[in-house]
Structure 1
């Protein structure tokens, strides 16, 4: 009985190490991946979590800037203190998705230094190993 208790404790200890990290975005839908990326960047201020939703090449670029504020300023030309992030849900063309690629449009509505700003960004996502990753930031649609 004594050994059984140690065995159970050992198994529980090993299983506790198998949980997913909170700094990794793993979502099955491309729209949700895009929203989670920007949530991590702008609202959570977590650059590692944001980079986890990107392809290896884009992830290196994101990490190069070392802070969410620098990424927001240099890559997206958008700064927010607080922002609401939504995917395009017009119903006409929520996403242009092919077998393993998708183009997602994201709308931003937020505040920076007490001024309200709205913006739109488009992202190209690819699917690798059943996981959607942001591959490219596309030119502004407008």
Structure 2
């Protein structure tokens, strides 16, 4: 069922997802391979480079409500607890600053984040989503 839903999402990608899809594919030259609409556990993520455990999420206006923000953060914490790094961008970031978005993505390969263990041994902080300006 997750694979069918992922296929449906790939066929009905948002404008921002389509625009970004063509850019991460450029990373294949450096040996990085991205897939889109990838089932991971009980979630479907927008883009994933499984070899580097990197997930990219592109959020539209529907992700602006308090309930959606809380849901996204719960989902992100779960994925991070599985060893993934999650980069989250807004549709407007992709539309107006695609170069900056790509810089953040490339930076994740050059200088990967070290997520705080969950729970943190110091008892504070969690890895925060990366956003562009």
Name the TM tier (shorter chain).
under 0.3
TM-score norm. by structure 2 comes to 0.27
Structure that is richer in strand per residue: 1
Q: Is the helix fraction higher in 1 or 2?
A: 2
TM-score computed with the length of structure 1 as normaliser: 0.26
Structure number with greater Rg is 1
